[in-house]
C-alpha cells in the first residue's frame, strides 16, 4: 500500500480555534500527522511518496473560482487591511437572510466560512493545496491500477463545501479525488497532470462512492455531490442534533434531482460501541455494493475513538482493523483520505490498524 504525504502540511499551524466562547489551543495541529507518519514507518506498511503537483483544474471541478482566489490571498489581504497577524478569523458570518455578497479583506472570511474553527495563517493555502495534491496523487495511482492508496492529508477536507470553509477544512480533498476518479478514466490522459481530453466528453464518468467514517458528518462532501448521479455519498457520524456540524447530516437528507436517493446519512447516538458501529457499517456497505461503483473514496477520521477529546463515541483500537477488513471485502479500488482524529497519542495505532485491515483484501 502506498502512502502519499507532504511535509508542507506544517505550513498550516493555527494559533487557536474558537470553541464554546473561548479561544483555545487548536485540536487540529501538525502533530497529528506526524504521529501517524511515525507509526506507518514503524509498521513498515509500504512506501511513502510525495504528492505530484497538480494544477488548479481538478480543484476547480469541485470548488468555485472566487472561493479559491479568496483562499489564496486571504491572509495577505487580511493583514494588509489591519487584521490580526496571528490568523484570519471572521467576526460576522453570512447566514440565511443576510448573505449578500461582501468580500472586503476583513469581511470575506465571514462570507466564505461557516464557523470559527478554521483560522487561516500565512501557509494555510499552500498546505491545503499540498493535501489536495496528495489526494489527487492517490486517485491517479488508483487510475493507474493500484488497489489501495492512503492520502495522509492535512488540513482535512470533508467539511469544506464548494464555496465554504470551516471545521478545520479548506479544500475538500476527498471530493476533489472522487470527482477526479470519476472523470479521470477518460478526461485526464496522463495520470492526471493536465486536463487533456483523451476521449469524447460525451462519455459518462465512472461511478464513485464516498464513505465517510469521520465522527462528524461530512457536510461539505454532501453538498458538493448532493445533486449528482455519479457519486454516492454515505456518512456514519454523530447525530447533528447533538454534535457538530449541527445544521446538516440528518437521515432525511437523501440527495436531490439526479442525485435523489444517492446521499445516505447514518446519524448515531453517543456512546457507540465497536459492535454497534460495525452493525451500522454493514448497512452502509450494502448501499455501496448496490450502487456498484468503480472506485471507493474513504474519508477516514479517527475521532470515533473513545479517547477523542471532541467526540463521544466509544470505539476502541480493536475496531479499526475490523472496519478496514469489512470495507476491503467490497473488493473496490480504494483511496483512503485522512480527515479528523484528535486523540493524538492513539492516532498512530488507530490509523495503522485501519490500513492493515484494508490491506487484508
Choosing from 159, 179, 216, 237, which is the catalytic residue? Answer: 159
According to DSSP, residue 208 is labeled E
- Give min distance, CB of 309 to ligand Q9C, in A: 10
In this complex, which beta carbon is closest to ligand Q9C, that of residue 66 or of residue 239? 239
Which of 259, 301, 306, 321 lies at the binding interface for Zn ion (CB under 5 A)? Answer: 301
In this complex, which beta carbon is closest to ligand Q9C, that of residue 105 or of residue 110? 110
Bridge-based pairing state of the strands 22-24 and 17-19: antiparallel
d(CA 147, CA 220): 26
Residue 159 annotated as catalytic: yes
d(CA 330, CA 318): 20
Q: Is 303 in the site for Zn ion (CB under 5 A)?
A: yes
Q: Which does 124 bind (CB under 5 to 8 A by kind): ligand Q9C, Zn ion, none?
A: none
Q: Is 110 helix (H, G, I), strand (E, B) or coil?
A: helix
d(CA 148, CA 212): 16
Select the span of 75-83, 93-101, 216-224, 258-266 touching Zn ion (CB under 5 A): 216-224
Q: Is 216 in the site for Zn ion (CB under 5 A)?
A: yes
In the complex, which residue's CB is closest to ligand Q9C? Answer: 340
**8 A C-beta contact, residue 298 and residue 211:** yes
**8 A C-beta contact, residue 324 and residue 357:** yes
According to DSSP, residue 204 is labeled P
Which of 340, 348, 353, 357 lies at the binding interface for Zn ion (CB under 5 A)? Answer: 340
**8 A C-beta contact, residue 167 and residue 207:** no
Which positions touch ligand Q9C (CB under 6 A)?
A: 19, 117, 156, 159, 167-169, 214, 216, 244, 301, 303, 310, 339-340
**8 A C-beta contact, residue 133 and residue 171:** no
Q: Which does 244 bind (CB under 5 to 8 A by kind): ligand Q9C, Zn ion, none?
A: ligand Q9C
| Nearest of 273, 272, 291 to residue 330 by alpha carbon | 291
In this complex, which beta carbon is closest to ligand Q9C, that of residue 169 or of residue 343? 169
In this complex, which beta carbon is closest to ligand Q9C, that of residue 328 or of residue 343? 343
**Residues with active-site annotation:** 159
Amino acid at each position: 500500500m502506498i502512502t502519499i504525504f507532504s511535509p508542507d502540511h506544517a505550513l498550516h499551524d493555527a494559533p487557536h480555534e474558537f470553541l464554546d466562547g473561548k479561544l483555545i489551543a487548536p485540536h487540529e495541529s501538525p502533530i497529528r500527522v506526524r504521529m501517524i507518519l511515525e507509526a506507518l514507518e514503524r509498521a513498515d506498511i509500504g512506501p511513502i511518496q510525495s504528492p505530484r503537483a497538480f494544477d488548479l483544474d481538478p480543484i476547480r471541478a469541485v470548488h468555485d473560482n472566487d472561493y479559491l482566489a479568496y483562499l489564496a490571498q486571504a491572509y495577505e489581504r487580511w493583514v494588509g487591511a489591519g487584521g490580526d497577524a496571528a490568523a484570519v478569523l471572521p467576526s460576522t458570518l453570512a447566514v440565511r437572510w443576510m448573505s449578500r455578497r461582501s468580500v472586503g479583506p476583513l469581511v470575506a472570511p465571514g462570507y466564505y466560512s461557516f464557523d470559527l474553527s478554521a483560522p487561516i495563517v500565512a501557509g494555510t493555502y499552500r498546505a491545503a493545496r499540498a493535501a489536495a495534491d496528495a489526494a489527487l496523487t492517490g486517485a491517479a495511482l488508483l487510475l493507474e491500477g493500484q488497489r489501495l492508496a492512503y492520502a495522509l492529508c492535512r488540513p482535512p477536507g470533508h467539511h469544506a463545501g464548494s464555496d465554504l470553509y470551516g471545521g478545520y477544512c479548506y479544500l475538500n480533498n476527498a471530493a476533489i479525488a472522487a470527482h477526479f476518479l470519476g472523470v479521470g478514466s477518460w478526461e485526464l490522459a496522463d495520470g492526471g497532470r493536465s486536463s487533456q481530453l483523451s476521449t469524447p466528453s460525451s462519455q459518462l464518468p465512472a461511478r464513485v462512492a464516498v464513505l465517510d467514517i469521520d465522527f462528524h458528518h461530512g457536510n461539505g462532501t454532501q453538498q458538493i455531490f448532493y445533486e449528482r448521479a455519479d457519486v454516492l455519498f454515505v456518512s456514519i457520524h454523530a447525530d447533528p442534533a447533538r454534535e457538530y456540524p449541527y445544521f446538516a447530516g440528518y437521515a432525511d437528507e437523501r440527495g436531490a434531482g439526479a442525485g435523489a436517493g444517492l446521499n445516505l446519512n447514518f446519524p448515531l447516538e453517543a456512546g457507540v460501541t465497536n459492535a454497534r458501529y460495525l452493525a451500522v457499517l454493514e448497512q452502509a456497505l450494502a448501499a455501496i455494493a448496490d450502487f456498484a461503483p468503480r472506485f471507493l473514496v474513504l474519508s477516514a477520521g479517527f475521532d470515533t475513538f473513545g479517547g477523542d477529546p471532541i467526540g463521544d463515541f466509544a470505539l476502541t483500537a480493536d475496531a479499526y482493523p475490523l472496519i478496514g477488513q469489512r470495507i476491503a471485502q467490497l473488493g473496490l479500488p480504494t483511496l483512503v483520505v485522512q480527515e479528523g482524529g484528535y486523540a493524538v497519542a492513539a492516532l498512530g495505532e488507530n490509523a495503522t490498524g485501519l490500513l492493515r485491515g484494508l490491506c487484508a483484501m
